[in-house]
């Protein structure tokens, strides 16, 4: 196992970790929309997270992606992310054994952040906010927080991808 090139992006310290995969455990978390019609079995109403827990050398790694990671026991893997709790949270990975890499779609997160920022900007210019109504101010605050979080997460994933390629 080797730890390479730490990168500090805002307050989160990103690291790239390399090693051989051992003790691989894949799990599937599935959330069901409570408003889903009971007679419809369409997968559109499900939100799936594929969670992979494994060791790289003596370091515990946990990765949660919307698609299954392409890894197996014994693969040579490089992951980038940050320590969280007792494990290492993966934002991007590169599997040298299978010649594949993966990460969440940072561009969609960025576009979502722009959308929420645009809605917040529209609310900022509304008459209800100018008059001092509480509910529009709460919506303005909420949309602004969501935009900031999504933008930060998109930039964090982008930085993790850069860390793997350098």
pLDDT in tens, 126-149: 787 778 778 778 888 999 999 999
- CA–CA dist 8, 33 (Å, integer): 37
For residues 157 and 64, the answer to whether their CB atoms sit within 8 Å is no
Largest CA distance in the chain: 63
- CA–CA dist 17, 55 (Å, integer): 11
> Mean pLDDT throughout 1-14?
59
Beta bridge partners of 83: 88
pTM: 0.78
DSSP, collapsed to helix, strand or coil, labels residue 158 as helix
For residues 156 and 14, the answer to whether their CB atoms sit within 8 Å is yes
Selected residue with higher pLDDT from 9 and 163: 163
**Which tokens in the block code for residue 108?**
């969609």
Q: Where are the domains of the chain?
A: 2-103, 104-166
Instruction: Give residue 87's pLDDT.
Output: 78
Specify the CATH architecture of the domain 2-103. Beta Barrel (2.40)
């Amino acid at each position: 196992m080797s730890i390479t090139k730490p990168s500090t992006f805002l307050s989160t310290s990103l690291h790239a970790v390399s090693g051989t995969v051992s003790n691989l455990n894949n799990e599937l978390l599935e959330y069901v929309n409570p408003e889903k019609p009971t007679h419809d079995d369409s997968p559109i109403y499900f939100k799936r997270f594929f969670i992979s827990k494994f060791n790289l050398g003596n370091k515990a790694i946990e990765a949660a992606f919307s698609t299954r990671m392409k890894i197996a026991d014994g693969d040579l893997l490089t992951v980038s992310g940050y320590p969280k709790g007792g494990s290492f949270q993966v934002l991007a990975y590169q599997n040298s054994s299978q010649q594949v890499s993966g990460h969440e779609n940072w561009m969609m997160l960025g576009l979502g952040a722009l959308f929420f920022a645009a809605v917040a900007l529209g609310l900022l210019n509304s008459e209800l906010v100018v008059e001092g109504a509480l509910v529009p101010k709460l919506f303005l605050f909420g949309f602004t927080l969501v935009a900031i979080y999504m933008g930060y997460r998109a930039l964090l994933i982008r930085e993790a991808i850069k860390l793997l390629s350098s």
